[in-house]
Structure 1
Amino acid sequence: MSPISYACQDGSARIRLARGDRGNPINQSTVDALAAAVRQARTDDAHVVVLSAEGRAFSVGGDVSAFASAGDVEHMIDDLADSLHRAISELHRMDAVVVAAVQGAAAGAGLALAAAADLVLAGASARFTLAYTKLGFSPDGGSSLLTASLGLHRALRLALLNPVVTAEEARELGLVAEIHPDDELEAATDAVARQLRAGSRAAQVATKRLLRETATPATEAALRRETLSIRARAASADGREGVAAFLGKRAPKFGQGQG
């Protein structure tokens, strides 16, 4: 079973995380399938790309159990982050407006993936949290780019204190554009996609490029810095302890090794 489903009709490409039974974790197979779906959307010349997810959560974030079982976690994280960042970069640069529909948890890389969209619609159940530092990791997936959209100190609060942010709070922060009851989220997303398809595609593409290039002119460099940082953190004593504590459902004891 593929972790991603893809369909394109009437100018709308739909990329859907399809492992709702597991909370749609972000692992190598998910990222590879995501990248393939984004490439297909470009081939199909989609006007709008809708990112959504099956199940109760948009995505619980990185597959922590896979981190624990990796023989060389630094190499594994480097490959995973690099692959994720290529897909994120494609979403930023593609000639389509990207709309994310988020229900339930969007944690870690799940939050970063949602934030890669140009417009984020949320169900009332949506909850956003970065949570990387809880594992002893630093953020990836373009999380550092939140400084441009949210402001430095709001982004630092999310990254350092790891609050669980409600849909309403996320709208107040500027991350979420609209909130709808969960059972109306799909219809609301379809309505936004139709509104976009009815508009001037050329004007929308020009606008997306202007605003994104002004807000984050050095995206690729920022993503590479994230990769280098998270791979080092994952291989550190604190990173190994954070993963073990998460899987053991206990509080981590950081600072016992070399950081």
Structure 2
Amino acid sequence: MGGEGENMTEDAKDPVTYEFRDGAAWITLADAEHGNALNEVGAAALWRAIQRARADRAPVVVLSAEGRFFSVGGDLASFAAADDVSAYIDDLADALHRIVSELMRLDAVVISVVRGTAAGAGFPLAAAADLVLAARSARFTLGYTKVGLTVDGGTSLLSATLGLHHALHLALLNPVLSAEEAHRAGLVAQVHDDDELDAAVDRVVAQLVTGSHAAQVTVKRLLRGAATPAPETALRREALAIREAAARPDGQEGVRAFLEKRTPVFPGDR
């Protein structure tokens, strides 16, 4: 069991930090220098933090991030550096999907706190929480098809939250949703001015921690079971699809173009 205020690691460069305080587990994506991009190291650290929250029997888990981004999504530089990019992405998607599944099934109310941009896999990672609290500066965008890739991280599960056609709009045209738009769409529970968000999160955590944990967890299971009865099946379909996309010429060109900061020219199947 972790002690109050105990950090998960002494290493200031660890991409994820953990603290148990005020009766809740506080998990922070802490690789602000790289926009909290998701790679094997970060996914492993996030998984360890979630398991720490489980061991601490935290009734509430708060997932937030340092810096200007909640997360820019997958670390495309690590994709390009991999010897077998499709296998690497498949492994990374599986690691991310294990995290998403765990957050959905955790015996705790999970809160994500979004400042700045949640892009790519950062979007469905934020949405894996039971409650999403956003700063007015928050932005949400997918962007997978812009680089020739298919969605992962539980993006297909957004159809249960947002509706099929809104999810298709986000996935195919890659618009950027403001915090207010995400609130109107039903994704974000509360929007607050940036300088008021921390206090709002503290209030929500205090309300949950002093409430009936058994009732809260049962409600979470009932509603999630009705909305997404087989999330792991959807997550595995996403992993297989993005692995295939990464091996195709369009996916390879999309990643190269992103890293070279140019507009991709997709060759298609030609």
TM-score range, shorter chain: over 0.9
Three-state SS of the structure 2 residue aligned to 1:117 is coil
The residue identity in structure 2 corresponding to 1:4 is: V
Q: Does 1:162 align with 2:174?
A: yes
Q: Matched residues, percent identical?
A: 62
Alignment partner for residue 114 of structure 1, among 126, 132, 135? 126
Q: Does 1:98 align with 2:110?
A: yes
Q: Comparing both structures, which one devotes a greater share of its residues to helix?
A: 1
Shift of 1:47: 0.6
Match of 2:47 in 1: 35
**Gap regions ≥5 residues in structure 1:** none
Match of 2:229 in 1: 217
Alignment partner for residue 90 of structure 2, among 66, 75, 78? 78
Shift of 1:84: 0.6
Shift of 1:190: 1.2
Q: Distance in 1 between matches of 2:194 and 2:33?
A: 18
Three-state SS of the structure 1 residue aligned to 2:153 is coil
Match of 2:148 in 1: 136
Q: Distance in 2 between matches of 1:106 and 1:37?
A: 20
Alignment partner for residue 193 of structure 1, among 205, 208, 215? 205
Aligned length: 258
The residue identity in structure 2 corresponding to 1:168 is: E
Three-state SS of the structure 2 residue aligned to 1:13 is strand
Q: Does 1:246 align with 2:258?
A: yes
Q: Distance in 2 between matches of 1:107 and 1:127?
A: 8
Match of 1:148 in 2: 160
RMSD between aligned residues: 0.9
Match of 1:21 in 2: 33
Q: Distance in 1 between matches of 2:137 and 2:86?
A: 34
1:217-254 Cα offsets, whole Å, 9 max, x none, are 01110000000000110111000000111111111111
Shift of 1:11: 2.1
Match of 1:68 in 2: 80
Shift of 1:258: 2.4
The residue identity in structure 1 corresponding to 2:209 is: R
TM-score, normalised on structure 2? 0.94
Alignment partner for residue 58 of structure 1, among 38, 54, 70? 70
The residue identity in structure 2 corresponding to 1:70 is: A
The residue identity in structure 2 corresponding to 1:66 is: S
The residue identity in structure 2 corresponding to 1:86 is: R
Three-state SS of the structure 1 residue aligned to 2:71 is coil
1:59-78 Cα offsets, whole Å, 9 max, x none, are 11111111111110011001
On the 8 A contact 1:11/1:45 being kept in 2, the answer is: no
1:7-41 Cα offsets, whole Å, 9 max, x none, are 11232000100011221101111110111111110
The residue identity in structure 2 corresponding to 1:145 is: L
The residue identity in structure 2 corresponding to 1:144 is: S
The residue identity in structure 1 corresponding to 2:40 is: Q
TM-score, normalised on structure 1? 0.98
Q: Does 1:229 align with 2:229?
A: no
On the 8 A contact 1:128/1:164 being kept in 2, the answer is: yes
The residue identity in structure 2 corresponding to 1:109 is: A
Q: Distance in 1 between matches of 2:224 and 2:247?
A: 33
Q: Does 1:258 align with 2:251?
A: no
Q: Which runs of 4+ in 1 moved over 3 A?
A: none
Q: Distance in 1 between matches of 2:205 and 2:232?
A: 28
